[in-house]
Chains A and B, each alone.
Chain A
Amino acid sequence: MAAISNANTAVVFADAILTELIDAEMRFGVQAPFLFPDIVMQPPTLVHTKRFSTNVYANMTASAAHTESDEVASAANTPTAVDIDTALYAKGAFMSDWGTGMNVHAIVPGTVQALMTACYLRFETDVLGLFTSITGNQGSATTTMTVDNFVSVTSAFRAQAKRSSAKPMMVLSESARRDLQADYMQNGGSIYAGAIGEQLHNAVSSANQGEWAPFSNYMIASTENVPVGDTTGKSCAIVHVGPEGPALVLAYSMDPRILAGREENRVGAWLVASHAHGAGIREQARAYRFVVRA
């Protein structure tokens, strides 16, 4: 824009125009939704110990024929302890008074949210990372997730012979969800015609990651945060949940918290998020890993 002047050019005003308007809404980058709260058991926070220990009892053999006058033999009922250690984690941000005060954004609550999200990302990373330690598994980096593969995987999971009243949770990679959707769409005539097709359509057609939907009595959701499987594939998994027999445990010995502490010699304050937790596999027979192509 030209400078503004009067007829005699006696007074000249230089440009005084702001060149940008910063959006006052605070936005964060996109992120895969967290699935961990839905697939782990979270016991009450540990007190005076950093180890969560859970016991698994072996099954006894069937009762034996007995003669009334005989003494009944005693069978040992000894549990195997499964230990999950917790450890301390922290993430901090220093907020200078001047920078915070000058910011057009609500930077303090925004940073609190970012710090808490970083804690949740640690839980998500650790819980999904357990998939590489699940021993029961099938598939490879070249396996395509199809309806047939779904049947194969769920049959193998079922063969592990554990009972649960809750629907098992199936965590798919995005590639697995893509291939499963492609399979029923290509075979739409045969699969989609039946009720099963409609159910599958609902289960894998969710618009967003992290949405749970039932298919064939499994709760299905997808995330890109599943770990690597085989050499170049993705590790997906089925796990039991619920109070009867969860496969995975996320134990806390210190709940996530954010505390602020002033540091006057730097003219500002620290916001520090901290928590102590451990994620572990409680019972291998309640989890099953299947590897698919990426």
Chain B
Amino acid sequence: MQIENIEDISLPSRYDNPWAFPTVAAVGPNGEFVWRHFNSKQAEIGDVPIRSMDGRPVLSPRYAEAGWCLYSDVCTGNVRGVEESADAWTRWQNLIKARAAGRHPPRGSLGEDFFHPEVGRRRAAAAAGGGAGTLSAAELRVLFPGVEIHEPEHAVGVPATVRGPKPKLEQPEPEKAKAAS
């Protein structure tokens, strides 16, 4: 048998490791966390938050308007009202590197604090009924002067990315909102 004369037949049972491709993540207004493995051949893959423009990952405009942010922007302080976290970014990059190398963390070993605090904040806000599209306490005070506004348990309102259009209602800075209350 001369099986060595047959070249380049990969085992069909082997599943491609998509993490070996560049991986880009985005955070939604309700704390959704999606990511896309960029096979360089695919420019568009339909109705998705992250797409490729000339090989550069960008947010789809529709999603940017809805409050989605690239995770890189969240971690590097590129999102209004969100503090940067180099540690969160490093954690995400290290996870990508480990998975690209075929390694993976054991089941349930990484908690919610793996992500940038903004992800948890958005999830908590959504769970408390204050997700995408809700008015912040400061905005409510402007709209309904004189009415007692009950502070929600979690801060609501979603900051817009620097790349996205400005929201129609001006988003107050967190410090100002705090001072106003």
Interface flag for B149 (CB, 8 Å): no
A125 touches B16 (CB 8 A): yes
With known contacts A130-B45, A141-B110, A125–B15 Cβ distance under 8 A: yes
**Within the complex, which residue of B10, B39, B107 is in contact with A141, where a contact is CB–CB below 8 Å?**
B107
Q: Could you write out 19 A-B pairs with CB less than 8 Å apart?
A: A29-B12, A82-B46, A89-B41, A93-B6, A94-B5, A94-B6, A95-B5, A98-B5, A99-B5, A114-B12, A117-B12, A118-B12, A133-B35, A133-B45, A135-B28, A225-B15, A231-B114, A233-B107, A293-B107
CB closest chain-A residue, reference B21? A129
Which of chain B's residues 13-60 have a Cβ closer than 8 Å to chain A?
A: 13, 15-16, 18-19, 28, 32-37, 39, 41-50
Most buried by B among A104, A142, A293: A142
Which of B75-83, B98-106, B152-160, B162-170 contacts the other chain? B98-106
What A residues does B32 contact at CB under 8 A? 135-137
Cβ distance B89 to chain A, nearest Cβ, rounded Å: 15
Which of chain A's residues 71-118 have a Cβ closer than 8 Å to chain B?
A: 80, 82-85, 87-89, 91-96, 98-100, 102-105, 107, 111, 114-115, 117-118
Which residues of B approach A to under 8 Å, CB–CB? 1-13, 15-16, 18-19, 28, 32-37, 39, 41-50, 62-63, 95, 99, 104-110, 112, 114
**Within the complex, which residue of A95, A121, A136 is in contact with B6, where a contact is CB–CB below 8 Å?**
A95
Query: Main SS of chain B's interface residues?
Result: loop
Q: How far is the CA of A3 from the CA of B1 in the complex (A)?
A: 28
A232 touches B107 (CB 8 A): yes
Interface flag for A176 (CB, 8 Å): no
Cβ distance B4 to chain A, nearest Cβ, rounded Å: 8
Which residues of A approach B to under 8 Å, CB–CB? 22, 28-32, 51, 56, 80, 82-85, 87-89, 91-96, 98-100, 102-105, 107, 111, 114-115, 117-118, 121-122, 125-126, 129-130, 132-137, 140-142, 225, 227-228, 230-233, 249, 268, 278-284, 293-294
**Within the complex, which residue of A140, A228, A281 is in contact with B46, where a contact is CB–CB below 8 Å?**
A281
B1 touches A231 (CB 8 A): no
**Within the complex, which residue of A22, A94, A117 is in contact with B1, where a contact is CB–CB below 8 Å?**
A22
